Chain A
Amino acid sequence: MGIDLHMLEWARAQFAMTALFHFFFVPFTLGMSFLVAFFETIYVKTGKEEWKEITQFWQTIFGINFALGLATGIIHEFEFGTNWSTYSWVVGDLFGAPLAVEGIVAFFMEATFAAISFFGWKRVSTGVHLSATWLLAIGSNLSALWILIANGFMQHPSNEFGFFNIDTSRLEMTNFWALITQPVAQVKFLHTISAGYTLSSLFVLGISALYLLKGKHKDFAKKSAAVAAAFGLISSIFVAVIGDEHAYEVANTQPTKIASAEGLYVGEKGAPIVAIGIPKNLPAEEVKSNDEAFVFKIELPKMLSLLGKRDPNAYVPGLKDLIKGNEEYGIWPLKKLAEIGKEAREDLFKYHEAKKVGDEAAAEAAKADFYKVIWEDKDTGVKLTKADLIGYGYFLDKNPDLIYPPVPSVFYAFHIMVGLGFWFILLFLMSWVAIVKGTFEQNKFLQKLAVISVPLPWIATSFGWMTAEIGRQPWTVFGVLPTAESVTPLALTNVQATFFLFLTAFVILGIAELKILFTVVKSGPKGAH
Chain B
Amino acid sequence: MRVFIAMLMVFLGNFLLAADKFMPNGINPEVHKIHTTWGVILFFMWPALIIIGYLFVEFTLKKSGLEKDL
Contacts and interface: CB of A to CB of B under 8 A. Distances in A.
Interface of A: 34, 38, 41-42, 45-46, 48, 141, 145, 156, 158, 160-161, 177-178, 180-183, 185-187, 189-190, 193-194, 197, 222-223, 226-227, 229-231, 233-235, 238, 242, 245, 248-249, 252-256, 309-311, 314-315, 317, 321-322, 329-332, 336-337, 374-375, 377, 379-382, 384, 389, 392, 432, 435-436, 438, 479
Interface residues of B, number: 49
A382 B23 contact: yes
A380 B29 contact: yes
A253 B27 contact: yes
Contact of A234 (B26, B34, B52): B52
B38 A231 contact: no
CB-based closest 9 A-B pairs: A181-B39, A252-B31, A310-B18, A255-B26, A252-B28, A186-B42, A230-B60, A332-B24, A382-B29
Given A185-B39, A245-B11, A329-B22, 9 more contacts: A160-B33, A180-B39, A190-B42, A194-B49, A197-B49, A230-B61, A252-B28, A255-B26, A382-B33
A223 B69 CA distance: 13
A30 to B, nearest CB: 11
A249 B36 contact: no
Contacts of A436: 60, 63-64
A141 B31 CA distance: 26
Nearest to B18: A310
B61 to A, nearest CB: 6
Contacts of A317: 22, 26
Nearest to A181: B39
Interface in B15-54: 15-36, 38-40, 42-43, 45-46, 49-50, 52-54
A315 B32 contact: no
Contact of A377 (B23, B34, B63): B23
Nearest to A227: B57
Main secondary structure of the interface of B (DSSP, over half): helix
A358 B16 CA distance: 52
A222 B66 contact: yes
13 contacts: A38-B57, A42-B57, A180-B39, A189-B42, A231-B54, A245-B11, A252-B31, A310-B16, A330-B24, A382-B23, A384-B24, A435-B60, A435-B64
Contact of B34 (A160, A223, A375, A438): A160
Nearest to B43: A186
Given A193-B46, A231-B53, A46 B24 contact: no
B46 to A, nearest CB: 6
A141 to B, nearest CB: 7
A230 to B, nearest CB: 4
A141 B45 CA distance: 13
Contacts of B32: 156, 158, 252-253, 380, 382
Given A314-B18, A438-B65, A377 B29 contact: yes
Contacts of A248: 14, 31
A48 to B, nearest CB: 7
A484 B66 CA distance: 57
Contact of B39 (A186, A231, A253, A392): A186
A296 to B, nearest CB: 28
A233 B60 CA distance: 11
Contacts of B39: 180-183, 185-186
B3 interface: no
Nearest to A186: B42
Residue of B14, B39, B65 with highest tally of chain A CB at under 10 A: B39
A275 to B, nearest CB: 22
A529 B50 CA distance: 28
Given A186-B42, A377-B29, A197 B20 contact: no
Nearest to B26: A255
B24 A310 contact: no
Contact of B70 (A46, A193, A329): A46
Given A48-B69, A226-B60, A331 B29 contact: no
Residue of B19, B31, B65, B70 with highest tally of chain A CB at under 10 A: B31
Nearest to B39: A181
